[in-house]
Amino acid sequence: MTGPVATAVMAPAVPGRLQLAGVSKVFGRGDQRVVALEGVDLTVEPGEFVAVVGGSGCGKSTMLTLAAGLEEPTTGTVEAAGGVALMFQESTLLPWLTAAKNVELALRLHGVGRDERQERARRLLAKVRLGRHADKRPHELSGGMRQRVALARVLAQEASIVLMDEPLGALDAMTRDQMHDLIEDVWQESGFSVVFVTHNVREAVRLADRAILMGSRPGHIVQELQIELPRPRVMDAAPVAALASELTRRLREEVARHDESDYFDI
C-alpha cells in the first residue's frame, strides 16, 4: 500500500469486508493530471449490498478498479478480505468459448479438476437459468443471457466480495428487471457482499441495503443513505419510487452546487 498511513482504525479482516480508507487516485501528471477520487472512506460489511450512485465522471468505476486491485490507490489503503470478483459493464465473455467453458475457465484457474468443474459449471448455469444454452457461444446469446453467463462466472469464483460495474447498463427494462431478481436471489443465497455501481437511482433503491451518493471533480462521497424498505422490492412500487426521487433530488443538488462553483471559478 502506498501513501500516508490511514487515520481510520482498520477493523479486523473478516471475509467479505471491504475497506477503503483515505483513498485518492490521481491519473497522469502535469497538465494531464486528473484527480479521479479524493478522500474516500468506505466500509462494506460482510454480506452487505451497497449501491454506488453518481453521474458520469464521479469516479465510481475508478473506485471499483481500486477495490478489485486492478489499480493501486495514490494515497490511502484498500483492504479486501476474501476473494474479489468483478462483473463488467460489458459481459467480456471470451468469444471462442461456449457459455459452459467460459464458466469452467474461472474454475480451472482456481485449480478445480476437470470433472468437478464441468459439473459445477452446469449447475451454475442452471442457477442463472441458462442450463439449456450451456453449449452456445456468446455471439449466439442475447445481451441479457450474456450477463447471466457472466454472473455464473462470478459465482464460480466463490468470492466473498462481488463488484459490479454497471452490469445492466446495456439491457432493456424487462431484462433488467429479471436480472435484479436473479442478482438478489444469488446474493441472498451465497451471502457475499456486493458493491454495485450504477447511474440509475431506482436500481440502487431496488437492490441495495445502503446507497452511496458520489459527486464529481474530484470524485468523492457526498452522502450515504440506509435503504430500509422490506424485500422483495418492486422497481415500480410507490415506496421505491418515492425514495428514488428523494435520492435524485439530493444528487441534483450536488450537481447544481458544482455547476455553481464552476461558474464562480471562471
Partner 1 sequence: MTSPTTSTSEQEASPLGPRRFDVGRWARRSLAPVILAVALFLGIWQAVVLTGWRPDYLLPGPATVLAALGEISAAGEFWQALGRTLLRALTGFGLAAAIGTLLGLVVARSRLLRAAIGSLVTGLQTMPSVVWFPLAILLLGLGEQAIMFVVVLGAAPSIANGVLTGVDQVPPAYFRLGHVLRAKGWNLYRFIVIPAALPSYVGGLNQGWAFAWRSLMAGELLVVIPGAVGLGNRLAFAQEFGDAAGLLAYMIVILVIGMLADLAFSALSRRIRLRRGLTVR
Burial of 171 (0-12, 13-18, 19+ CB in 10 A): middle
Q: By CB under 8 A, is residue 237 in contact with partner 1?
A: no
| CA-based end-to-end distance of the chain | 37
Q: Are 176 and 168 in contact (CB under 8 A)?
A: yes
**Rounded Cα–Cα distance for residues 134 and 16 (Å):** 30
Query: Minimum distance between the CB of residue 133 and partner 1, rounded to whole angstroms?
Result: 7
CB of 256 to partner 1, least distance (A): 35
Per-residue x/- mask for partner 1, residues 99 to 138, rule CB under 8 A? ------xx-xxx------------------xxxxx--xxx
**What amino acid occupies position 66?**
L
Q: Pick one of 29, 139, 263, 266: the residue that binds partner 1 (CB under 8 A).
A: 139
**CB of 166 vs partner 1, minimal distance in Å:** 14
Site string for partner 1, 188-227 (x = CB under 8 A): xx--------------------------------------
Between 92 and 118, name the residue whose CB sits nearer to partner 1: 92
Alpha helices in 134-200 (DSSP H): 143-156, 173-190
Q: Which of 41, 90, 158, 224 binds partner 1 (CB under 8 A)?
A: 90
- What is the phi/psi pair of residue 51, to 5°? -105, 135
Whether residue 73 is preceded by a cis peptide bond, meaning omega within 30 degrees of 0, is no
Burial class (CB in 10 A: 0-12, 13-18, 19+), 65: middle
Nearer to partner 1, 130 or 221 (CB): 130
The interface with partner 1 within residues 48-77 (CB under 8 A) comprises 65, 68-70
DSSP structure class, residue 202? H
Shortest distance (Å) from residue 182 CB to partner 1: 6
- What's the min distance (Å) between Cβ of 93 and partner 1? 9
The single residue listed with the C-alpha cell 486491485 is: 69
- Using CB under 8 A, which of the segments 9-17, 72-80, 87-95, 217-225 binds partner 1? 87-95
- Phi and psi for 139 in degrees, rounded to 5? -70, -10
CB of 183 to partner 1, least distance (A): 10
Environment class of 8 (CB within 10 Å of its CB; exposed 0-12, middle 13-18, buried 19+) = middle
* Interaction site with partner 1 (CB under 8 A): 65, 68-70, 84-86, 88, 90, 92, 94-96, 105-106, 108-110, 129-133, 136-142, 144-145, 148, 157, 178-179, 181-182, 184-185, 188-189, 231-232
